[in-house]
Structure 1
Amino acid sequence: MTTSEPGLQDPCTAPHFATSALITIDVQQDFLSEAPYGVPGTTEILPALRRTVSAFRAAGRPVVHVVRLYEEGGGNADLVRRRLLKSGVRIAAPGSPGSQPADGIVPEGAPALDPELLLSGRPQRLGPYDHAVFKPRWGAFYRTCLEDLLRELGVDTLVFAGCNLPNCPRASIVQASERDFRVALVRDAVSQVTDSALTELAGIGVHLIEADALEGLLTEPVQAGWACH
């Protein structure tokens, strides 16, 4: 996909890649395909996701890794998860290996996730362009610092990728749209994709792109044109 495609010319929804940030959702060891409670298809999207994060860093654009940290007993989890977590199952437990980002997603030499910092509602810096943010529910904006962080970074466009489109990425995309962010989805870098879901997201102004197109999109000069009011 290139910016010459008709959908990208809508001045009210067209992504501004020069002022964009990448949002990765729940790309953690315990959610990979092979994990006991993992999400099928998530390990398989890692190559495209690694290309995606690399393209954003190469362009000097922010990358925000939104993560889950389920406390013992599941008190900070969605209701549908609490019965499982109350049974003693540990998934993305704070400080555990399973809570850490998947290999190759954060910068080389990045610190481990800091559960105390993240659970307090503050972002964690993982590298020159990378940050982590904890979310307690499906959507990345619910009771989090994400919107404040993005506004501080001067971002008006969000590009989403990560784990399990029907749940957390979809909820986060809707929340982003409600906050008037321009939104794109890297469809080959998100798991559990269906044609119907992509059609529905396109219907609310989400632009669908491929990982291999990002490098060109992120380095294109800003296009002059009439603004949306």
Structure 2
Amino acid sequence: MALDAKELDRLLEQAFNEGTRLYQERGFQRRVGFGSRPALVSVDLANAWTRPGNPFTCDQEKMDGEIIPGMQKLLRTFRAHKLPVVHVTTAYEITDRNASFTDMGLWHDKIPVDVVNLKDRDLWAIDSRIAPIEGEYTLLKKRASAFHGTELAGILRAAGVDTILVTGVTACACVRTTICDGLADGFRTIAVKECIGDRVPGAVAWNLFDIDAKFADVHTVDECVEKIAALAG
């Protein structure tokens, strides 16, 4: 019998409580904290992930009810304080799975990245509800992490950024690997709780718990807005 959402949440909470005890006994769950100059890195909040009808479509209730409104609030804050914003998306130029050479690499052997064709701009365009404005950058990636094989670290360092607030989808893949690589590249990493989604029940809660223990500090949208305002002030 499948678990309902409330029962799944209860079991996860039980596991998290026990995990917290173990982690804290062993010195995990330390705080990396905010630095002095944050940037917002929004991962794959493009139509193929945010809108219905695509293999990559994420939980629509959370997307429409939490992620997009939370992103809108974050964007207002970053824009008001003239802080860097990077919108990240994913698409491929050679989507023939039988081709001898393709920018998909081997990833298409695991997931249907071939459906996100560079020619279909509407698929990989950032959701119009949180569309980039002048002065914000849209980064096209080919792999899970927004850092792997891209210019992201370089352009952030050139802008004096020492902290990244990471949002987007999915918690178990592109968001998580971006956070891990961001920390490895020397940035203070913040995961924004309400602005991270996935497709599978429980995936967000589990990954945020584990990320908070090992790779980033998890904060709510309101906490992030308050901290940015304090830094800017």
2: CA distance between counterparts of 1:54 and 1:35?
Answer: 29
Which structure is higher in helix share?
2
Aligned partner (choices 84, 97, 102) of residue 122 of structure 2 = 97
Distance 1:195 1:85, change over 3 A: closer
Do residues 36 (structure 1) and 59 (structure 2) align?
no
Q: How many residues align?
A: 191
Other structure's SS at 1:23 match: strand
Instruction: Judge conservation of contact 2:48–2:123 (CA < 8 Å) in 1.
Output: yes
Instruction: Judge conservation of contact 2:92–2:117 (CA < 8 Å) in 1.
Output: yes
1: CA distance between counterparts of 2:131 and 2:51?
Answer: 19
After the TM superposition, which segments of 4 or more aligned residues of structure 1 sit over 3 Å from their partners? 82-86
Q: Return the TM-score normalized by structure 2.
A: 0.73
Q: What residue number does 1:54 align with?
A: 76
Distance 1:102 1:221, change over 3 A: closer
Other structure's SS at 1:159 match: strand
Aligned partner (choices 96, 101, 116) of residue 73 of structure 1 = 96
- Paired residue type of 2:180: V
Q: Return the TM-score normalized by structure 1.
A: 0.74
| Structure 2 residues without counterparts, runs of 5 or longer | 1-29
Instruction: Judge conservation of contact 1:138–1:168 (CA < 8 Å) in 2.
Output: yes
Do residues 177 (structure 1) and 183 (structure 2) align?
yes
- Paired residue type of 1:41: D
How far did 1:82 drift?
A: 4.8
Question: What is the 5 A alignment of 1:15-26?
Answer: 15-16=34-35, 18-26=36-44
Question: What is the 5 A alignment of 1:44-193?
Answer: 44=64, 45-71=67-93, 72-73=95-96, 75-77=102-104, 79-82=106-109, 90-107=115-132, 110=133, 127-128=134-135, 130-192=136-198, 193=203
| Structure 1 residues without counterparts, runs of 5 or longer | 1-9, 111-126, 224-229
Distance 1:55 1:222, change over 3 A: closer
Larger Rg: 2
2: CA distance between counterparts of 1:33 and 1:106?
Answer: 14
Q: CA RMSD in A?
A: 2.5
- Identical aligned pairs, as a percentage? 20
How far did 1:84 drift?
A: 6.8
